[in-house]
Chain A
Amino acid sequence: MTLNQSASALSQPQPVMAISNVSKSFPGVKALNQVSLELYAGEVTALIGENGAGKSTMVKVLTGIYQPDEGEIQLNGVKTTFHSAHAAANAGITAIHQETVLFDELSVAENIFLGNAPKGRFGLISTSTMRQQARALLQRVNANINPDTPLRELGIANKHLVAVARALSVDSKVVIMDEPTAALSLKEIEELYTLINQLKQEGKAILFISHKFEEIFAIADRYAVYRDGEMAGSGHIDTASQQELVNMMVGRPVDQVFPPRQPTHGKALLRVEGYSHPTEFANISFTLKQGEILGFYGLVGAGRTEFMQSLFGITKHTAGKVFIDAEEIEINTPGQAIARGIVYVPEDRGHHGTISNTPIFHNVSLPSLGKTLKRKLLNPPAELSLTRTFTERLELRAAALDQQVNKLSGGNQQKVVISKWLATEPRIIILDEPTKGIDIGSKAAVHQFTAELAAKGMAVILVSSEIPEIIGMSDRTIVMRDGRICAELSKPEMTPEALVQAAAGITHA
């Protein structure tokens, strides 16, 4: 309440939290370079930027997990440093993450009060008080949840409500919401908006991180845009248009990014019939031609990645057939897929794509080691020359071919992954969110190269959640929703509206 008064009393509002000229470096990367951020009581500030722009690093600075190399953090006008996450939490800063912030094995009430539970006799946690207060807090956020329920029994939307209740319980001044809508349904997002408005009324300063512009315009009062770890702009949201924000984000007009193509499709190369999995996807059927780029669009969690990994032999399918050149084949392991010329560039580059602590050339030669052996023994010169062939084609930038992959930028790491697969001379390449989290320059290079591969007769499956990328690159797009194919759009049918409507299941009345 006092915050509200002080905020209204001043004509020129002072930020609750002000970060100025903060920098943070990691070996090989400057994650943040002289960036600033101001958060005001009772206002929502949207932090906008592509993956890798420095948003998550900023969240870690705000919550005391990282200490900045330089720059200043002010809380209510007083300079502060957070030596630990504990210090930040004590100062009233709460972060709500997608799933990471809560504890499945603890009850709802325990989750809300972890770290500052109400004390009763003998300094012990008073479970009855805790339960009561938890119930009250849950009521405040309109959540109909029993405080004694173990958290693991809740769905994601309810977990969010618990996280919000937690933010209310510690009387936080600053609430950070890191992509809170990522796994929510439309209805749940509406409810979240109501909640955010309530938090605003209570005078909390809210940092809202999202890359969905409709959400930002729906909820934010201010914005700050980061690009490649640097400040790209900030201000009141009513003074900015979506186009301006996009330009700030990417640093150049978006419509130039994609290479021109004259697709020439050959004969059908891959045919999938009725691929199904007990819980993740069902009845996936399509045909892919030589030289074609086939887009797969859908919301996060639509089952695209799950299907692709099954097609690549990582997870088992229960029904369905795959044909290559009209010949039925069996794929139960990645090895079988690779042998048949199907390769997969995974979405999670760090865990699935690169072997990050090992040299570049070990990564590239890995699936093709058999080709480089000399009398059945490893032959590093042959590995190096194989690596050189493909990394040069992709214009990899590295200090040496035995440099560790984790010393490279995200874009160059992706080039290593793609080189690895090209070295196996594949016929079908599956690209799962290939430009996620990489810089603009590498992004263009990946797009350019994808177009070249298709022009040379390779068949490409492009899984992407970025509408411009889908529209700019693919010749045809399959849209998935809830584990099933729900639409197939030809090139002229591919409009942002059509894609979004199909993916979200909106039907025309």
Chain B
Amino acid sequence: MLIRALKSREMILALAIAILIGLIAMQFPGFIAPDNLADAFNDTSPLIILALGQMIVILTRCIDLSVAANLALTGMLVAMINTQFPALPIPVLITIAIAAGTVMGAINGLLTWKLDIPPIVVTLGTMTIYRGLIFLLSEGQWINAHEMSDSFKALPRHEFLSLPLLSWIAIAITLAFIVLVARTPLGRAFYAVGGNPNAAVYAGIDVGRTQFLAFTLCGALAGLTGYLWVSRYAVAYVDIAGGFELDVVAACVIGGISIAGGVGTVIGAFLGAIFLGVIKNALPVIGISPFAQLAISGAAIIIAVAFNARSSRRKGRLILKHEEAVG
């Protein structure tokens, strides 16, 4: 099973990442110092979490462009609650963040499920609405480090086995997703709905409801990331994680999640995020302007989607071959 899972795109991607790291390390050996790699992984953790949420949405033939706005709005929300009520325990704040993210994801899901509006339109709309709400909520003000309580900021940095908690959360969610996708009926339903919606109906799966749950789960993860992001960078304002939804989609596409639905693995999404993370962290090391990152993400999306399309091009009925096999 493990061999089959790693045989295909995931293996190629893992290899590409290894080669990439190797090339960088040849010029800048410091890049593969354990501390640096741990830092790079920690930086990539939010992307990993969001990519996993996005993955299940894309599996069901949808897309969620509102994840970054969701993240920013929940981040602002919990930061403001923290400044108002510094005594409120962090687990409560995390619960609020997840709840707020879930609601926003559920709104996307409901509009897609109940009103049959194309997901791209729904989330393009909610993306700006959520972003705008941050402005209404904060009146355009920033919340800076000194306004946040220490425990608020400390949680994601808390080290455990020399990795920050943020990294551990990303690892835990990845493992949870492996179980979710492989071992729960819902996880299988994501594949069924995206792979063959007509047949999914016959198997007793409610397509719309499954898409709704994917959006909701994706929203919950975005909410959680909202808290993690704001506490880690210790700042909240309207534009945090602006355009990050494109990185998330890029990570999925690079990880071999087919935009047509039904195809993709947790490992793939994870590696897709790592790939982007390595590039992002390598740019300053090898002396390329960080402004190049957006263009690199874009190029990576296009190359990945073209590559995936080539490898999964539909074949004909193979009538002649059929005859050879018989005869």
Contact = CB atoms under 8 A, between A and B. Distances in A.
Interface of A: 63, 65, 84-86, 88-90, 95, 97, 100-106, 110, 114-115, 117, 123-125, 127, 148, 150, 185, 277-282, 301-303, 306, 482-484
Nearest to A63: B202
Contact of B185 (A63, A95, A125, A280): A125
Nearest to B263: A105
A85 B201 contact: yes
Nearest to B321: A279
B183 A125 contact: yes
Given A103-B195, A105-B263, A482-B323, A148 B1 contact: yes
B212 to A, nearest CB: 15
A105 B194 CA distance: 10
Contact of B320 (A63, A150, A281): A281
Contacts of A281: 319-320
B202 A103 contact: no
Interface string B178-201: 010011110011011001101111
A90 B204 contact: yes
Contacts of A127: 182-183
Contact of B319 (A65, A105, A301): A301
21 contacts: A65-B201, A84-B206, A85-B204, A88-B204, A97-B199, A102-B196, A103-B196, A105-B191, A106-B188, A106-B191, A106-B192, A110-B188, A117-B185, A124-B183, A125-B182, A148-B1, A150-B4, A301-B319, A306-B319, A482-B326, A483-B320
A379 to B, nearest CB: 35
Contact of B205 (A100, A115, A150, A278): A115
A123 B323 CA distance: 47
Given A117-B188, A125-B185, A279-B320, A105 B195 contact: yes
B184 A125 contact: yes
A324 B216 CA distance: 61
Interface of B: 1, 4, 179, 182-185, 188-189, 191-192, 195-196, 198-206, 262-263, 315-323, 326
A125 B185 CA distance: 7
The 8 closest A-B pairs by CB, nearest first: A89-B204, A482-B323, A86-B204, A483-B319, A124-B183, A303-B319, A125-B183, A483-B320
Nearest to A104: B195
Contact of A302 (B183, B202, B315, B319): B319
B198 to A, nearest CB: 6
Greatest chain A CB density within 10 A among B1, B192, B315, B319 is at: B319
A104 B1 contact: no
Given A280-B319, A482-B322, A100 B184 contact: no
B191 A282 contact: no
Contacts of B202: 63, 65, 85, 89, 95, 97, 100-101
Given A97-B202, A101-B203, A281-B320, 20 more contacts: A63-B202, A65-B201, A85-B204, A85-B205, A86-B206, A95-B202, A102-B199, A103-B200, A105-B263, A124-B184, A125-B182, A125-B183, A277-B320, A280-B318, A302-B319, A303-B319, A306-B317, A482-B322, A483-B320, A484-B323
Contacts of A97: 199, 202
Contacts of B316: 279-280, 306
A84 B200 CA distance: 12
Contacts of A278: 320
Contacts of A89: 202-204
Contact of A279 (B185, B199, B262, B315): B315
B182 A279 contact: no
A243 B243 CA distance: 69
Contact of A114 (B183, B192, B321): B192
A124 to B, nearest CB: 4
A142 to B, nearest CB: 21
Nearest to A121: B183
B214 to A, nearest CB: 16
A150 B1 CA distance: 11
Contacts of A65: 201-202
A114 B204 CA distance: 9
Contacts of B192: 103, 106, 114
Nearest to B262: A105
A101 B185 CA distance: 17
A315 B97 CA distance: 54
A291 B292 CA distance: 68
A100 B198 contact: yes
A281 B323 CA distance: 10
Nearest to B323: A482
B311 to A, nearest CB: 13
Contacts of A282: 320
A125 B188 CA distance: 10
A482 B319 CA distance: 6
A7 to B, nearest CB: 26
Contacts of A148: 1, 4
Nearest to A123: B184
Contacts of B179: 124
A106 to B, nearest CB: 6
B191 A103 contact: yes
A312 to B, nearest CB: 16
A85 B191 CA distance: 18
Contacts of A301: 317, 319, 322
A114 B183 CA distance: 11
